[in-house]
Structures are given as structure tokens and as C-alpha cells.
Chains A and B, each alone.
Chain A
Amino acid sequence: MSFLVRCPFCGDRSVYEFRFGGEALRRPAPDAGEAEWIAYRYHRKNAAGEQVEWWFHRSGCRQWLKARRDTRTNQVIECWLPSQERP
């Protein structure tokens, strides 16, 4: 594993500078059903293909980032600041 992540602040950086934060998921409403909460806590898609993930630039700007990565090729297609997300 030696792919690059294009940090919006720091540019192309080795993945070893980052901490993986898991698949990006939407937290259920507090009163959502039990199945939805269990899925949020324990179920992961583990997609063979593109997925949106959390990454923390530990050895760089120390910001939480979101990235779209192809898990088959480990290519990071885009990486952005979550605060710039359009709902």
C-alpha cells in the first residue's frame, strides 16, 4: 500500500501520513429503528470499487478529510474538506 492522497491543503502526500477513518456513513436519527442503528454501528459495505471515506492527515495539516477512492486500484479520485460539502 503506497498510494497518494491529494490533500486539499498539502497536495499529493503518501498514504502513510494519513489515518484511515472508515467508510463515510450517515448517522441515523436518535429514534431510528434498531436495524438501522445496528447497520450504522457494525455493517460495512466493503465495496469493490469507488467509495467515500474519512481520512485524517495526521502527519500534515491535521485535518479530517473526505476522499473518494477506488478500493480495487487504491486510486484516490478526489479529496475534499468536509466543511466545503454541499448538502
Chain B
Amino acid sequence: MTFRFEGRQVEARPGDTYASALYRAGQRIFSRSFKYHRPRGLLCMDGKCPNCLMNVDGVPNVRTCVTAARDGAEVRAQNAYPSLETDLLSAAQHFDWLMPAGWYYKTFTHPMVWRFVEPHIRRVAGLGEAGAAPDHRYEHAWMHTQTAVIGAGWAGLTAALEAAERGEEVVIADDQPEPGGQSRYRGEPAAGLIEKVRSTSSIRLLQGCTCFGLYEGNLLGLVRPAPHAGAAEQLIHLRARRVVIATGAYETPLLFPNNDLVGVMLSTAALRLMRMHGLAPGRRAAIAGEGARAAEVDGALREAGVAVAATVAPKDVLGASGSGAVTAIRTRSGDVSCDLIVVCGPLVPNAGMAAQAGARMVWRADPGAFVPEDLPAGVTVAGAAAGDVAHTGDHTPAGGKRSFVCLCSDVTSEDMRRAIAEGFDHIETLKRYTTATMGPCQGRMCQLSAAAVCARETGRGMGETGVTTSRPPNPGVTLGALAGPRHHPVRRTPMHEAHEALGAVWMDMGDWKRPRQYGPSIADEYRAVRERAGLIDVSTLGKLSVRGPDAGKLLDKVYTHRFSDLKPGRVRYALLCDESGVILDDGTISRLDGERYFITTTTGNLDFVHQWLDWHLIGTGWDVRITNVTAGYGAMNVAGPRARDLLAKLTGEDLSTAAFPYMSCRESDVAGAPSVLLRIGFVGETGWEIHTPAELAEGVWTRLLEAGREFGAAPFGVEAQRLLRLEKRHVIIGVDTDALTSPYEAGLGWAVRLDKEDFVGKRALTRAARNAGPERLVGFTLNGPGVPDDGSAVVLEGRIAGRVTSCRHSPHRQAAIGLAWVPAASAMEGARIQIRVQGVPIDATVTLQPFYDPEGSRLRQ
């Protein structure tokens, strides 16, 4: 197995991570630091620190120390110019006195200067670049279990077996390639326990699976890399009745000058390299530690063939020497040369997840750790995460230059001290000002040292100082995993294929695909409707069937017009308002017979209107059934002077105005399909809206087009329809109206019946009828060239006084026409306003009449 690293081939053994394979190949520098570009080597080998972040196959910030190596992968270093070994920007560290924490806030205070400097700072400081990664596929999965255990160490495996013995379903998520936790490198084999877990059928073990957050309702966010061929990552939403946090403890660095040099390594990292990967971490080591842990490391180092030059108690360590890599450890009793300093640092219970669940983090002097208390019901913490860690001794952080508290963003104890002196003496403000605990490690490496420095400088205790808040996601998650697969639902009308064959240009309307136009010329489609006949697919209209003896009562209560007195076979415009008198939706309501009404809603508001009707039915005791029949019907509108001749060829229904007048409806066959026909006229011509069973709609559409050929009929799209309706000054709710529009302002007051008994919005509408808002929606004709964009400003006496909501060039008027909001005083026939067209105010004339056929005679022919 080989992968490429910076252009050269690196061999990997089974069980290797990228970092262990690189270490075996002699690589010692794994990254360059954020600000000073100091070389950094392996520190934690546990996926907790920022030192080994690299770009793997185009994905930045991959924790290479815990990511299993894959054959053929392409691995690149980050934030180094030109290479990890020779990074020219490392010169920055010699100017660190110029750049203490927060220096750019104080230096580049002028906005213009900041604008110039910011891109340069961003280029130099950084954590890799987001790649386009077009080949990466991300998935989401959902799982449920009775008990979820995070961590497959001793505590986690034991908790899982206990739950399984109680008869519960268990899921264990562990972020390491193999289960066992610290037993994998501490020589306390957990093989028996692992075997027992593996042979228990009610336990599911998810290995290499990172838990990044515990959310409300015991929802766990897990990321599983490469769940199967073809998927880069899978985000699992795991819901559990009970969560056991068994995430163990991790080791953190000691504070001493040059504690970030390559070759300074945590003792657990050294043990992992030796026991899990068979690597000698160095040739000549010094141990900064004492007691049992130092002895354990000492034994392991000697066993691996590493000479141990000295074991120094942390309080006696003065610093590390070396430029880039360690050459010696400086102690109170003199310097000792070495190429490896193994640090036995404080063990921190990994209880961030418990804090996310709402636990309080309380300082315990023994063992010298913040431990979780007051856990919510359903969440428990087990093992080292609960504070069951060995006492690591009280270490007072050594001061001095280049003692790095935060490795992620290069914050030293000196930076912290200065920030505290400047007044940022609370751990939370200190965090925000210095950015310590805010880097990719999210405070895991630095939280304890930051609290210790803060406590020492302020003279407060650790308990009083406290820790910063733990928030998910921790560790970081790729945006791709969170975003998941690119699924966008698409709704197609029953006539979709027919439109495709006609060369439709598509537009999106919510989830729907609608033909915007068919040919290059919207004018041709317009002329077909005005002069001959046109056919448009209106299947996307919301369609509701409202049935029952009390259906009329419900519609009277909810809509502004009266519908209980609507005669069977008649259609009425329907306006829906809320209790504040704001227009929510409009459409038509047809009474098919005594107890059956058929409602159309606008395309986007169907679900809302349906829920609104349902809600208003609650508690009334009325006998009404509301059914959404939108998908059950295809709908089309045939309109134009020859529409009657055309439709007459396909139906036996008498279409004469005497038998089938404007605003009436019939149930009848069209081209053999049982249909509902509404004689209405959105586009201002004689026309019928035909609702026909979805499975027959394409056939009806095709037959209508064939029947229309002799009359020169043509299909028309949404754009022509918008122009045709604008000439009729018909309002589109949500385009020409907004979230405050009352019917009296939009010129729709005629659709409100204040004389009927109580209905939704009556109280507010009664008031609005007397005292409408200061603006009115009016029509206008532009007295000059050009067509203003929708949204252009209305100008009165040089000041903005309103806005255009819809505007098109009208072939009928040979001018730009539109709808606009203007002050009430200008809402008069013939009033003069100005509209800003590309920055220039152009005169326009207000009208309250339709631009086309103001008497509506063509509709009624």
C-alpha cells in the first residue's frame, strides 16, 4: 500500500494512519503553525491537536494521525511556502514582539488600511484551503437505539455489555480504527471484552466513527468516513433513549519555553507510536514527568530501543532548545542533549459532550481536572471521562518566551498575560480576545493551560476561573458531511413530456418545473392568445376539494367573500386574509353542487391554505372534509377569441355565454376525460380553465392543441401569461403584495364582504376599510422609452415615494405598463409620477383601470 505525499511515494503498512506511515518514512515536520509558521511535529497521535492536519485527496484539515492510510491517496501539507522543511514565512516568528495577540485590532484601525491588509493576513495565516472536491459524495443516515455508547475503551465496552444484558439495543461509536481505547497501547489487553462485545448480536460497533455533538433529545451527530465505495463520508443522526459518554481522557502539553518544537511529544503519543505502529519515536529521549507514568514511558522507550537520557520532574523543566527540532532539554540541573522530549502532561477527562448535554464542569483538585456534574436524565458519563484519571501533580505553568498555550493559533503564555493585564481577565473574554481555545483543536490541547494561566495571573482559583463553553461540532466536521447529498425534489406536471417535445424553456416555481416560454418569441405567444387562442398548463395551481353540509360556513369564516350563497355552477374570486387583514392568498372557489366546493390556491401557498382551513375547522364541530387534490388533477387554460370554437370540438357542453356565462363552472367531458370547467379569465380573453384527471391530462392537452391547429392556436408559457395578466391589471399575491398589504390598499376591497357575520380578519378589515395605510397599488403607463425593472423606485418631487412591483412592455399600449406602490394622494386616474429607469426619472401616468379591455367585454363574449 502506497500513497503520495508532496509528490513522493510513501509506503504504508496495514494498521497505519497517514501520520504513522510518514513518521516511519522519516517525516518529522507535519505542519507549519498558523501565525509564525513554526515547524510542528506529531504531538498527540490521538486526533486531538492541530499539528498533523493535512490535505488528503483535496479535503483540507484531515487529522492524519487517526485517519487510516488508503492506497493511492494524494496527501499535501498545508500553510507552508514553499515546503514544510523550508517555509519562508517562518521568518515571522522573529517578529513576534510586533504581533502579540490581537495586534491587528490595534494596528489596522482605519477601515481603508484594514481593507488593504486583510487579504494579506488571510493568505499568510491559515489552515489549508477548501477544495472544490467535486468527486466527493456525502450521505446522511438515520439510526435509533436504546443505548448509545460513545467510546469503545474499557468503560464504553463494559457499559455496552451491561446495557445488552438488560436486553437493550446498543450502538457503540468509537473514533479510533480499532476498539480498546488506551488498552491498545498501555499493555492491559481488552481482547476478551472486545470479543464478548463483538459476539453480542444486540450491540452494533461503529469503528472509526467520530461523534461530534450531543444535541437535544439525545440526538448524536456521528461522521463515518468511507461507509462504502463511492461515498466519502456519512453523517449519522443517531437518536438514543440513553447516552453513555465513555470518551476517556486525553493528555495535554506542559507549558515551558519552546514546548512546541518538533520532537516534543506527549507520552501517550510516544506509546501509540511504539506499541501500535512498532516505531521508535526518537533515538535519545528525555522524559518530562514523574511517578508511575514516567516509569511506564521509560520502560516502553527502552524496550523500543530508545536511549533515555534523563527523567525530569515537570517543575524542574526550564525549556527545550533547538531551532525547529529539539536538540536538548533545559533543566534546573543543566542541559541534557536529546532529540525527543516525552511529556507526561495533565490528563483531561474528555467530557465536552457532557457539557453540551448541560452538565456543569466542576474543578476537582484531586485529580486536578474539571469533571462533569449534574447530568440531565438519560445521559451518563463513565470511566476516565467522568474524572476517573490518575492525579498528574500540580504543575505551575512556567512562563517565559514562546511557551505556547494554544498551538492552533500560536498564543503564548506571554500573550495571555498581556491580555489579562489589558483587562480581559475572564476566561471567556480572554478566549475571544486571544483566540486561545478557538482553533481546530477547539480547546482540547489548551483549555486547561489557559485556565491555569488565567488563574495564576488573576490570583483566582481554578474552580472560580472555570473553563470555556464546549459547543458542537467538536471535533470539526466537513461542510460536505453536514450538507449531505444534493437531493432537490422536482415536481413535474402531467404534461411535462409534451412541453419538452414542444421545446419548452423551463423555469422553477417552488419545486415545480413550468414552461417559461416555448419559442424565442414571447410576442408570438401573446398574439396567439389575444388574436386566436392559446393554451397554458396551470397544473401547479393548488387544488382543494371542500365537501360537507357545513362547507359553505367554513369558507364564509375563512375567506373574505361570502360563499354559502354561491349558487351551484358559479365561481367567485376568493381572497384570504389573516386576523390583521393582511392578504395571504387568492384563487377561485367554485361550487360544484350543494355540498361540494372546489378551491384553487396560488402555486406556492397550497400547503399553507390547506393547514389554515384545517386549523380554522378545529373546535367548530362542523361537518366538512378538506382534501388536497392538486396531484390528482392536471389543469390547463384555453383562452382567446377562438377558444370557444376550439373547445367545442372536444366537448358536448354548450359553451355559449347564455348557457355557460363568465364566472360559472360545469362538470363535463373534455376529449373523453371527466373534467371540471371554469369559465374565468386571468389573461382577459374568453377562456376556460380545465381540470382533468392527472393520468388523462397529457392526452387532453395534446387533443386541444391538435383541435386548435385550424385556428392558429399555440401553447404559451408563464412569461406571456404574466404580460397578459398585467395588461388586465390583475394582481399576483406575493409579487405585487407583501406581508403588510391589505385588500383596500391593493384595490381588492371589492372582494371583502364586511356585511357578513364574523370572519377571519373582519375586525382589522373593518378598520382598514375606513383607514387604509398610506400607500396604494396602482397601474402606471410609462411616458418614455425603456422598461423599468421590477423593484424600481417611484419618484415624487425628487424623492423616493414608492416602488414598481411588476412591469412589462405592453404590445397593446405600445409602452411600458406596470403596477406600483404610490402614496395614496397619487392613487388617482391620470396622476403624474416618475419612475427611475436605470437611474433616470421618467414620467409616468397612474391608472386605476385595466390597460386592456377595461370594460371586460372580451371576457364575457
Contacts and interface: CB of A to CB of B under 8 A. Distances in A.
Interface string A45-87: 0000000001010100000100000000010000000110100
A40 interface: yes
A8 interface: no
Nearest to A63: B614
Given A19-B611, A40-B579, A2 B763 contact: no
A55 to B, nearest CB: 11
A3 interface: yes
A10 interface: no
A14 B217 CA distance: 9
Contacts of A40: 579
B619 A3 contact: no
Nearest to B358: A73
B758 interface: yes
Contacts of A42: 580
A41 to B, nearest CB: 5
Contacts of B762: 30
Contacts of B239: 4, 14
A2 B579 CA distance: 31
Given A2-B215, A30-B758, A41-B764, A83 B580 contact: no
A56 B611 contact: yes
A27 B619 CA distance: 12
A3 B579 contact: no
Nearest to A81: B618
Contacts of B794: none
Given A19-B611, A56-B611, A64-B614, A30 B763 contact: yes
B219 interface: yes
Contact of B580 (A4, A41, A56, A85): A41
B216 interface: yes
Contacts of A56: 611, 615
Contacts of A54: 615
Contacts of B758: 30
A64 B219 contact: no
A21 B579 CA distance: 15
A82 B619 contact: yes
A17 to B, nearest CB: 12
Given A30-B762, A83-B618, A41 B579 contact: yes
Query: Could you tell me the dominant secondary structure of chain A's interface residues?
Result: mixed
Contact of A4 (B217, B611, B619): B217
Contacts of B764: 37, 41
A64 B580 CA distance: 22
Contact of A1 (B216, B580, B607, B615): B216
Interface in A1-42: 1-4, 14-15, 19, 21, 27, 30, 37, 40-42
Contact of B615 (A4, A21, A83): A21
A77 to B, nearest CB: 13
A37 B404 CA distance: 62
B550 to A, nearest CB: 15
A82 B618 contact: yes
Nearest to A87: B619
B198 to A, nearest CB: 30
B236 to A, nearest CB: 14
Contacts of A37: 763-764
A59 to B, nearest CB: 11
A78 to B, nearest CB: 16
A53 B56 CA distance: 48
Nearest to B578: A41
Output the residue of B579, B619, B758, B763 with the most chain A CB within 10 A.
B763
Output the residue of A2, A41, A83 with the most chain B CB within 10 A.
A2
Given A37-B763, A41-B764, A64 B618 contact: yes
Nearest to B760: A27
A16 to B, nearest CB: 10
A2 B219 contact: yes
B217 A3 contact: yes
A74 B216 contact: yes
A14 B619 CA distance: 27
Nearest to B618: A82
28 contacts: A1-B216, A2-B215, A2-B216, A3-B216, A3-B217, A4-B217, A4-B239, A14-B219, A14-B239, A15-B217, A21-B615, A30-B758, A30-B762, A37-B763, A37-B764, A41-B579, A41-B580, A54-B615, A56-B615, A58-B607, A64-B615, A64-B618, A74-B216, A74-B217, A82-B618, A83-B618, A83-B619, A85-B619
Closest 5 CB pairs of A and B: A2-B215, A2-B219, A30-B758, A3-B217, A4-B217
